[in-house]
Structure 1
Amino acid sequence: MTTLRRLLTTVLLMCAMALGGTAVAWAHAVRVAADPSPDATLSTAPSRVSATFNEQLQTDFAAMTVVGPDGNLWSDGAPQVQGAVVSVGMRPLGPAGSYTVNYRVTSTDGHVVSGSWAFTMTAAGSGTPGPSASASAPAAERALPVWPFIVGAAAVIAIGLLWSRRRRS
């Protein structure tokens, strides 16, 4: 009977530890509000867009862009982080349609949080767009080639094999 009791105790402790540890994953910043709100329909263009989070944000490495239905950037300038809010200025908007706000921020625990939401403009504006959204993507967001990592891994393995053979001699 003691073996069965130990097994049951171990299983219950493992379950309690697994369930008790899940709160750590919920510690990242979460967007709790947006202006304009997701799926909003607007007849006049906002001068800024903003996202509010449930905790303070780090000011480093924040990014926020607004991409219009034409694929061009309509955000203007660098994003600003003030406490739990990140925002970016807007150009006078152009074509009617769906605009997507993309953001990337760093929460206080150091984890990067990213996401997006959309709003719709019902009336066309007379604004001039920024560059194409795909051409202006930061280098960190572009795909990296895989071949340098494969060559590097092969070199490390080859050096390890040579070193181990030389040690045996």
Structure 2
Amino acid sequence: MTNRAASTLRLTGILGATLLASGCAVFSPVQTDYPYIPADGVRLTIPGLDLRNLVVVASEKGGQGVLVGQAVNETPDAVDVVFAVGDAQTTPTAVPALSGSSLGGNGSAVGVGAVPVAPGEMVELSVTTREAGRNVVRVPVLTPSRYYSEVTIPSASAGPSS
């Protein structure tokens, strides 16, 4: 084999290996094309309100719980929202127009009453607004530890609040 033939053969081999290796990416989906929630909680988008990272923080099954998350209102009007776990309804929480409000942090605790499941399980949370009516979403129940260690859980006598 001559030098020219060997070089052509090597170049063809390298080109073929490069095409073969780059072809793998063609058949692999781009992971950033798939939406996901990079948080502990769940998301609920309803007319007039976007609720993000919703979780209920409670120490034990049957103990008092606090709703934690963020409410984003992108409309020009304030939205009143009522949360409920089981039969325990909160007083309406106002989310100002064109703003975001933290739920359950910095003294804005949204108590949801007695939580019927243990931490680590999911509970049904009812979210009601005038604009969207009643919506139900399953949210995780987490213990007041680590990131949620500063969440203040109301006493049993306090009941649900806003």
Taking structure 1 as the reference length, what is the TM-score of the superposition? 0.34
Larger % of strand: which? 2
Taking structure 2 as the reference length, what is the TM-score of the superposition? 0.35
Larger % of helix: which? 1
